[in-house]
């Protein structure tokens, strides 16, 4: 009998994140600092693991269920870092709050290394299930947000599981590396159905159209720190899941089906998200609708696996999609954290209420402006510019029509991002908000500045290879 070998170094970030959840549950009044320290240690462990050789564990033959390569550990460190940011802007909460947040972070870290469908879907659900409770705040609106998110998430999870079952029936394995070879001789109709259901269900986490309707309502009615988490870590989870499945599992022998699904999701998200954002007069719904459009930009590079020119460049396409997701979630985290710092009630409020914020709360206003300009893809917030360039660089040689749609969506986004920035910067209103959480805002601001001044750091750790 052969004993399964376990690589504990590869699993160290997950061990520390799980320890953060245990400490949060039993540490009482010290739950918040204990959880933040443990998650910080988890991020450092992920960076350390990424600096060494690639590791893998839980093997079945030549296939592994968990891989600790550079891209996976970079994503794990980002999950932990975003969770620490959300904890820092959450103020005083009960021990259960910190426990649920740490469990969700552990799910994200597991997802980063997942290389089979079962591990991936279970990790994604671990990331999501605690949010059913966290998005719900006292009152009718909070209950509605929680129920909406619960129902939409259950429907998407069932859809993804059905797709995974179809692909398992077609390939005879749940390992992504096994799918890459096992689908070669499978029934094309079964592969197409499984691909559409799986990717459609996973795209829910990104709030990609047509599974997008939950995002504006839930983000507006959830407490702003949790809205920050939903807009950053949760969406990063969706992006990682889709990229892993497409690149490691489907691109080789289900490229046509995958490309069609990705192109449809991308175009629908860009159109719906931009049109929805144009008519918004409240800050959080505007960011939520624009986030739907950004989900479309992130998915766009993955559509090239359906083209003859793109099949040889699936690594570049997957890397571009992951890089865009990282740039995007950092900018979204900055924008929502700035709002959380100036909104005592935990609500986003109208855009007009931000008028004069530059004078009354310079640090949150500066961070918010930088994030909004970056989301628009304009300098000096070059993080957003580099994200768009990474996507267009992949699309231009193999899917020119989609590159045109991405560029048009970016230009349309200026129609709502620039007025939002102008209100904060030049508004003469009576805003009297005082900024809080200065250390947390400075930390995410420095991260955005690093992504702007040294984008190669992001591009390097998001470079995916087999």
Answer with the one of 60, 89, 113 that is the final residue of a domain: 113
In a domain, 308, yes or no: yes
Same domain, 230 and 284: yes
Same domain, 240 and 366: yes
Domain count, the chain: 2
Same domain, 262 and 306: yes
Confidence of residue 404 (pLDDT cuts 50, 70, 90): very high
Confidence of residue 3 (pLDDT cuts 50, 70, 90): low
Parent domain of 4: 1-113
In a domain, 324, yes or no: yes
Same domain, 283 and 249: yes
In a domain, 239, yes or no: yes
Same domain, 337 and 369: yes
In a domain, 466, yes or no: no
Same domain, 345 and 422: yes
Mean pLDDT of the chain: 90
Same domain, 92 and 46: yes
**Mean pLDDT score, 238-244:** 95
Same domain, 322 and 406: yes
Same domain, 307 and 218: yes
Which pTM value belongs to this model?
0.94
Same domain, 143 and 45: no
In a domain, 350, yes or no: yes
In a domain, 35, yes or no: yes
- φ, ψ of residue 363 to 5 degrees: the values are -65, -55
Answer with the one of 50, 78, 113 that is the final residue of a domain: 113
In a domain, 334, yes or no: yes
Answer with the one of 113, 139, 160 that is the final residue of a domain: 113
Same domain, 295 and 420: yes
Q: What is the pLDDT of residues 248-304, one digit of tens each?
A: 999 888 888 899 999 999 999 999 999 999 999 999 999 999 999 999 999 999 998
In a domain, 128, yes or no: yes
Q: What is the pLDDT of residues 121-140, one digit of tens each?
A: 999 999 999 999 999 876 66
Same domain, 89 and 73: yes
């Amino acid at each position: 009998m052969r004993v399964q070998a376990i690589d504990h170094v590869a699993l160290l970030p997950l061990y520390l994140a799980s320890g953060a959840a245990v400490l949060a549950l039993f540490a009482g009044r010290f739950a918040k600092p204990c959880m933040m320290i443990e998650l910080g240690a988890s991020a450092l462990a992920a960076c350390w693991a990424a600096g060494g050789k690639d590791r893998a564990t839980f093997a079945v033959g030549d296939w592994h269920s968990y891989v600790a390569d550079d891209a996976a550990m970079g994503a794990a460190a980002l999950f932990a870092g975003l969770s620490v940011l959300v904890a820092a802007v959450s103020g005083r909460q009960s021990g259960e709050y910190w426990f649920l947040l740490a469990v969700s972070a552990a799910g994200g870290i597991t997802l980063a290394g997942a290389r089979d469908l079962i591990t991936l879907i279970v990790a994604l659900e671990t990331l999501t299930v605690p949010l059913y409770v966290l998005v719900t705040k006292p009152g009718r609106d909070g209950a509605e947000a929680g129920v909406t998110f619960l129902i939409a998430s259950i429907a998407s999870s069932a859809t993804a599981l059905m797709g995974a079952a179809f692909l398992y029936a077609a390939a005879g394995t749940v390992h992504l590396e096994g799918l890459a070879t096992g689908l070669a001789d499978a029934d094309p109709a079964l592969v197409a159905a499984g691909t559409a259901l799986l990717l459609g269900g996973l795209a829910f986490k990104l709030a990609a159209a047509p599974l997008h309707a939950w995002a504006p309502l839930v983000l507006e009615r959830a407490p702003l720190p949790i809205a920050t988490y939903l807009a950053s870590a949760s969406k990063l989870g969706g992006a990682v899941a889709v990229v892993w499945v497409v690149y490691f599992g489907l691109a080789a022998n289900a490229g046509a089906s995958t490309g069609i699904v990705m192109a449809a999701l991308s175009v629908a998200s860009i159109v719906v998200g931009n049109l929805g954002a144009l008519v918004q007069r409240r800050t959080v719904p505007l960011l939520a609708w624009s986030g739907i459009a950004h989900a479309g930009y992130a998915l766009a590079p993955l559509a090239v696996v359906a083209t003859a020119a793109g099949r040889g460049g699936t690594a570049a396409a997957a890397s571009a999609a992951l890089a865009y997701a990282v740039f995007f979630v950092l900018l979204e985290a900055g924008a929502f954290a700035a709002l959380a710092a100036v909104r005592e009630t935990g609500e986003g409020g109208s855009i007009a209420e931000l008028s004069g914020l530059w004078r009354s709360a310079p640090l949150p206003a500066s961070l918010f402006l930088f994030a909004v300009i970056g989301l628009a893809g304009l300098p000096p917030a070059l993080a957003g510019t580099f994200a768009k360039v990474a996507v267009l660089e992949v699309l231009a040689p193999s899917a020119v029509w989609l590159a045109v749609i991405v560029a048009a969506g970016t230009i349309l986004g200026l129609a709502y991002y620039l007025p939002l920035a102008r209100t904060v910067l030049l508004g003469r209103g009576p805003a009297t908000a005082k900024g809080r959480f200065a250390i947390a805002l400075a930390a995410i601001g420095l991260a955005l500045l690093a992504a702007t001044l040294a984008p190669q750091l992001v591009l390097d750790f998001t470079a995916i290879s087999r």
